[in-house]
Structure 1
Amino acid sequence: MRITLFNFTCSNLIIILILFTSGFVPARANTNNCEKNGGYSYVCGLNSPEDLVSIPNSDWLVSSGFAGNVAIYAINTKTKALQHLYPSKESKAKQNMQTYRDCPGSPDTNNFTTHGLNIRQVSDNLFTLYAVGHGEREAIEVFEVNIHSNKPELVWIGCVLTPDGLEANSVASLEDGTLLVTIPLIGFTINDLFKGVPTGAVYRWSPGDKGFEVVEGTEIAYANGIETSEDGSEFYIASSGEIKIMAFSNTNPAKLLRSTGRLSFVPDNIRWGKSGKLVTAGMKIDDENCGHVKLNEQFDFMELASCPRSFMAIAIEPKTMKITTLASSNAQQQFTNVTMVLELEDELWFGSFSGDRVAYQKITNSE
């Protein structure tokens, strides 16, 4: 999700993904310790790890950082060790001028945060990482990731600027290098989120294009997380305004194929999980301590973000949109404002738009 904190950098909020007001800080985790609590274990030392991706065929995760001085982290899922990937003393830049010739150069690392992530395998040890970047510019920043050594190595190779400096939320990629990004708010404010009006859309860029173009037919209420099918024929969007996951045909114009019903939580980022299912997570609409989010009405966003809410994670069969519950949690004082879930072997990993940690727990079978 996305939130704009002018002194806290940009990020996309969770439950309804929103724009933060200047100077406001949402509910944050208790940073006094990193011990297991409430059934969750933690990796601490991050700053607002809003999105996570797994590097295929490795023990490594990559985390975004949309606040602070580190924009990209790596976590070893076996040892739970944390690494600062970008920027770091080893940071390198080597622009791919053939593909990203219109990019004005590498980002200002003194004014750079990241949001949504996507990773695509190039060869056995080589991957391309796409990151929604904020700071001096709004762009999809592109990195080469190599895991031939004892930790991932990152090289910045290019960028694609968003149109008119619009703030993107999430990014997905196709095999040919085409990018699909969600832009949640275009000429609207957060107060329009639950009014049933299309506040944003998906934009597409392919190598050789001058810039992103809107994908006609994807205008929906707060387009948030996005993912593509393995064959590229479909893509899936988390609509935080309509509170559902939607499947589109990847043709022009896009065609809505199917969707879930309205969920009991506000979905944020989307990932592929086990057994060919999509996974997503977010804060619950009903919460006994924080109250009920009133849909189709204006709401107090600061009150929403400052109260630790319970959260939920689900898996979705993409052809039928059948839902299976992965986790349903009470509010955690140490970890709140959940934005996503990764399903890895025997563990679930959770990201958050605020706080200093990611959470993980052993997978339990539940419906």
Structure 2
Amino acid sequence: MKALSSTASALVWMISLTGAALPSNAADVSDCPSDERAAYICNVRNAEDLVAVRDTAWVIAGRVTDPPTQGGFYLIDARSGAASPMAPDFRGATAPIYSECPGAPGKDEFAAHGIAIRYGTGSKHELYAVNHNGRESVEIFDLDVSGERPELIWKGCVVVPRAVMPNSVAPVSGGGFMVTSFGIRTDPETYQKALAGGISGFVAKWAPGQGWSEVPGTQFSANNGVALSEDGKRLFVTGWGDRKLHVVSLGEMPYTHQAVELGAVHPDNIRATDDGRLLIAGQAAMPADIFACTKLPTCEVGFKVIAVDPRSLSVEPLLDEPGSRSFGGASAAILVGNEIWVGTFNGSRIARYPLRK
């Protein structure tokens, strides 16, 4: 199957494959003052995933837009809220660990979807990004935060197997990573299964020198967000279709599985907080309404942000918003100081809500 050139999230991907498209002429919002609910960061199109870079004042957002030539990343200064496109350097050589990578994608053949950071020592880290533009792949960058602005230098890629519909990514020990597959690209009924809450996806793992394998016990409904426990012994996966958080043991046979009901929300990305909780954002609407909102400049459906204790698996609601012409369809949430920052798969803003104590 030809790789897609325009994907804002796995949800938008499904719609694109069935014939619909994002509006290519949607205007950026250049004047978006605070309202009674939130403050906003403007002119950030489809910031589907967010990550706060540890021990810095910087936030990096995925940048999936239509046309895709505007894709990449956004860099946001958390102190001022100033946001600007972040252009990686694609001139770097391919690292030996990624020897099967066909080469750098080029600035017009890359649009970041799910993102994650593998932290190193000091100011040198690695950033992983799911890419749908030109090829279905995970692109890997060196992330240097030693200067006035962080810099990204491309170092390699891993093209996903034909069946994998990549969404979110999480690095694992040994230099590998895991990717959620929202559906199965080779299954013509994968969308119907996801809509019905049936099994449609799985989690795939890539390891250096070993290649790809399916993680046992991870066949869920529209696998979306992914995170690992601090000790690497448990995997957390959101099922967008069945509205659950799935917890699977790693390195054990037989594996163990727990499912946590998340309520009336289709959970999207997962991000760990400094205190170890799992922050999950998702859309609070019927699937048909969520899909329909991609035809608008801004998704207006309601959304929720919840926190889950990874040990007790207790669920704490943090935000329950109706959605509006300003912002809706949340897909990611992070904590920045005393605020919850929320991204969306279809819109021109990042919303900033005060954290209620």
Calculate the TM-score normalised by the size of structure 2.
0.89
After superposition, the Cα gap between the structure-2 partners of 1:46 and 1:262, relative to the gap in structure 1 and judged at 3 Å, is: closer
Residue 150 (structure 1) shift? 0.8
Higher relative contact order (CA closer than 8 Å, sequence separation 6+): 1
In the alignment, what sits opposite 1:25? 22
The answer to whether residue 315 in structure 2 is matched with residue 323 in structure 1 is: yes
Contact 1:24 1:302 in 2 (8 A): no
In the alignment, what sits opposite 1:203? 204
Contact 2:4 2:135 in 1 (8 A): no
Contact 1:313 1:326 in 2 (8 A): yes
3-state SS in 2 of match to 1:190: helix
User: What is the rounded CA distance, in whole Å, between the counterparts of 1:39 and 1:165 in structure 2?
Assistant: 41
User: What is the rounded CA distance, in whole Å, between the counterparts of 1:148 and 1:282 in structure 2?
Assistant: 34
In the alignment, what sits opposite 1:218? 218
In the alignment, what sits opposite 2:35? 37
Pairing of 1:267-346 with structure 2 (within 5 A): 267-285=267-285, 293=286, 299=288, 302-303=291-292, 305=294, 308-346=300-338
The letter for the 1-side match of 2:75 is A
Comparing 61-70 with 120-129, greater Cα deviation is found at 61-70
The C-alpha deviation readout for 1:32-71, integer Å capped at 9, x for no partner, is 5221124211112222110011111000011101114131
Contact 1:46 1:357 in 2 (8 A): yes
User: What is the rounded CA distance, in whole Å, between the counterparts of 1:315 and 1:29 in structure 2?
Assistant: 33
User: What is the rounded CA distance, in whole Å, between the counterparts of 2:22 and 2:194 in structure 1?
Assistant: 20
After superposition, the Cα gap between the structure-2 partners of 1:5 and 1:330, relative to the gap in structure 1 and judged at 3 Å, is: farther
In the alignment, what sits opposite 1:10? 7
User: How many matched pairs?
Assistant: 345
Contact 2:62 2:112 in 1 (8 A): yes
Residue 304 (structure 1) shift? 5.3
Contact 2:15 2:21 in 1 (8 A): no
The letter for the 2-side match of 1:349 is W
In the alignment, what sits opposite 1:290? none
The letter for the 1-side match of 2:8 is S
User: What is the rounded CA distance, in whole Å, between the counterparts of 2:171 and 2:345 in structure 1?
Assistant: 23
In the alignment, what sits opposite 1:169? 167
Across the aligned residues of Structure 1 and Structure 2, the Cα RMSD in angstroms comes to 2.5
Residue 17 (structure 1) shift? 7.8
User: What is the rounded CA distance, in whole Å, between the counterparts of 2:310 and 2:76 in structure 1?
Assistant: 29
The C-alpha deviation readout for 1:311-359, integer Å capped at 9, x for no partner, is 1101001122101111111212111221011022211111111122211
3-state SS in 2 of match to 1:42: strand
Residue 24 (structure 1) shift? 2.9
The C-alpha deviation readout for 1:166-217, integer Å capped at 9, x for no partner, is 33000001132120001111113322214343111000011222x3221122
3-state SS in 2 of match to 1:93: coil
User: What is the rounded CA distance, in whole Å, between the counterparts of 1:11 and 1:153 in structure 2?
Assistant: 23
In the alignment, what sits opposite 1:105? 103
Residue 124 of structure 2: which of 126, 136, 141 is its match? 126
3-state SS in 2 of match to 1:10: coil
3-state SS in 2 of match to 1:168: strand
* Structure 2 unaligned regions, length at least 5: none
3-state SS in 1 of match to 2:175: coil
User: What is the rounded CA distance, in whole Å, between the counterparts of 1:10 and 1:253 in structure 2?
Assistant: 36
The C-alpha deviation readout for 1:125-144, integer Å capped at 9, x for no partner, is 11100000111111100001
In the alignment, what sits opposite 2:141? 143
User: What is the rounded CA distance, in whole Å, between the counterparts of 1:66 and 1:255 in structure 2?
Assistant: 35
Residue 301 (structure 1) shift? 5.9
Residue 23 (structure 1) shift? 4.5
Calculate the TM-score normalised by the size of structure 1.
0.87
The answer to whether residue 225 in structure 2 is matched with residue 233 in structure 1 is: no
Residue 5 (structure 1) shift? 11
User: What is the rounded CA distance, in whole Å, between the counterparts of 2:311 and 2:85 in structure 1?
Assistant: 38
The letter for the 1-side match of 2:229 is S
User: What is the rounded CA distance, in whole Å, between the counterparts of 1:77 and 1:6 in structure 2?
Assistant: 32
After superposition, the Cα gap between the structure-2 partners of 1:79 and 1:336, relative to the gap in structure 1 and judged at 3 Å, is: same
| Overall identity of the aligned pairs, in % | 27
The letter for the 2-side match of 1:184 is F
User: What is the rounded CA distance, in whole Å, between the counterparts of 1:86 and 1:61 in structure 2?
Assistant: 14
